[in-house]
Structure 1
Amino acid sequence: MNSLLKSISYIFHPLIMPLLGVLFYFSKSPRFIPSEIIQAKIVSLFILTIILPILLYLILKLIGLVNTVNLKTTKERIYPLILNCIVIILVLQRILTPAQSIELVELYFFFIGILISNMACLLLAIMKFKASIHMIAISGVIMFFIALSIHFSININGTLALMFIIMGAIATSRLHLKAHTYVELIIGVFIGIIPQLILVTYWL
């Protein structure tokens, strides 16, 4: 059981959540988007949101600014969160700019929400509060899914049920591993949901 709960934290790592939101968007969007554009966006986002953060983490570990991938202390979280904010800004400026991809406006505001959530988490880390990044990531994606279902008038009840089960599994995993308290998990959920909920008004 310990191995299963530990593996959940790695399988549903926060790094994969933005790309999961992007893949879901392209699979459900009723708009015609050329496959070449979809592939280019997915590959670019995979490199920037997954590969690049992993390389940056390895550099931070090499120079001694972080000790483990779990970022157990608030001090360890500061530099990775700053770098992640920079990565998201690069995504917004180079890949999802409204001027270049007006048909992808939903994804643009999705990543704006991710940026705001990251900045809020960074601020809390500076204040020595360790909000759950896992819960921030999964709750933000779920809120985006709900907004897309309303926006595109599609029934995704099965997907949402699965996502809530995954959210529960992640929360259980983090508690079992003593990585977070109940309060840190709950604060993480709010930090993930609220920016996405506010930004919905700009594209829904």
Structure 2
Amino acid sequence: MKEFILKGISFVFHPLIMPLLGVIFYFSKTPRFIPVPVMKAKIFSIVILTIILPILLFFLLKTINKVDSIYLKSTRERLIPLFINSVITLLILIRVLTPSEIIELYYFFLGILCSTLTCFILAIFKIKASIHMIAASGFTMFAVAIGLHYKININGTIALMLIILGAIATSRLHLKAHTNQELIIGLFTGLTPQIFLLSYWL
């Protein structure tokens, strides 16, 4: 039962989900008026580009034996997916979330791009960082920033995300997917770009 729960945590809070959660969180908290059709269009685009397209590309890579599993356990099999994800995120920044429309989400995804490229460079040098921790910590920092930006109380969200971060770290350690060092590297790889970019929009 414990094994099932810990595997479930890794699956439910998969890195592919976090960008979408960030977008939904922003739309649910922002006091700015954004037409519902615009929100729906943005969310639909993010679902297609950050979840469905990467899953389809994963199965293609698996078919041609470039990756072994969705968890990308080795640094070697991380290279192509991370590069592809960087290109997809860049496409989102150019076509879906431009700074002239929704500046907060633009810089959130710019932070995601920086984290992904950092993870890619680390993988080139055979340094493994937890992509789960990168995604979850990046979203957590973005949520904190939104609370500060709009001066709204999101203590519940922050508390929940800290619990989730702990659960993810526990899950990845128990499943022997990462070491403590890899989790810490992932945590700071996710946090640092989001913190650095705050000065451009906060």
Shorter chain as denominator, the TM-score bin is: over 0.9
For residues 116-135 of structure 1, the aligned pairs below 5 Å read: 116-135=114-133
Partner in structure 2 of residue 154 of structure 1: 152
For structure 1, which runs of at least 5 residues remain unmatched after alignment? none
Deviation, structure 1 residue 179: 0.3
For residues 1-204 of structure 1, the aligned pairs below 5 Å read: 1-99=2-100, 101=101, 104-204=102-202
Could you say what secondary structure the match of 1:121 adopts?
Answer: helix
Query: How far, CA to CA, are the matches of 1:98 and 1:171 in structure 2?
Result: 33
Paired residue type of 1:189: L
Query: How far, CA to CA, are the matches of 1:149 and 1:172 in structure 2?
Result: 27
Could you say what secondary structure the match of 2:16 adopts?
Answer: helix
Could you say what secondary structure the match of 2:17 adopts?
Answer: helix
Task: Report the aligned-residue RMSD.
Answer: 0.6
Could you say what secondary structure the match of 1:200 adopts?
Answer: helix
Paired residue type of 1:73: S
Could you say what secondary structure the match of 2:169 adopts?
Answer: helix
Query: How far, CA to CA, are the matches of 2:71 and 2:188 in structure 1?
Result: 21
Paired residue type of 1:88: T
Query: How far, CA to CA, are the matches of 2:89 and 2:36 in structure 1?
Result: 23
Deviation, structure 1 residue 98: 2.2
Query: How far, CA to CA, are the matches of 1:70 and 1:193 in structure 2?
Result: 21
Give the 4+ runs in structure 1 shifted more than 4 A. none
Query: How far, CA to CA, are the matches of 1:87 and 1:68 in structure 2?
Result: 20
For structure 2, which runs of at least 5 residues remain unmatched after alignment? none
Query: How far, CA to CA, are the matches of 2:183 and 2:70 in structure 1?
Result: 18
Query: How far, CA to CA, are the matches of 2:87 and 2:157 in structure 1?
Result: 31
Q: What is the TM-score when the length of structure 1 is the normalising length?
A: 0.98
Query: How far, CA to CA, are the matches of 2:69 and 2:104 in structure 1?
Result: 34
Query: How far, CA to CA, are the matches of 2:135 and 2:99 in structure 1?
Result: 23
Identity %: 61
Deviation, structure 1 residue 67: 1.0
Q: What is the TM-score when the length of structure 2 is the normalising length?
A: 0.98
